[in-house]
Amino acid sequence: MSETIFKATNVSKIYGINKVLDKVSIEINRGMIYGLIGENDAGKSTFMCKWDNPLKHQHFIQN
């Protein structure tokens, strides 16, 4: 079993009345290659910006 190097569980984000992330979870293991794909406005950038600088993005909700 690979070592987990990053894990996010139940990440949500709401802009006004729009829920752009709804309980998104991901686990990244050492030595693996991952891709994040989805339609336009699916929340890919919003999810990744959360991890760009966690202190800058404290308005995210993580359970």
CB 13 within 8 A of CB 61: yes
CB 5 within 8 A of CB 28: yes
Q: What is the 8-class DSSP label of residue 14?
A: E
pLDDT digits (tens, 9 = 90+) for 1-49: 689 888 888 888 888 998 888 998 988 899 999 898 999 988 888 888 8
pTM: 0.64
SS3 state of residue 47: helix
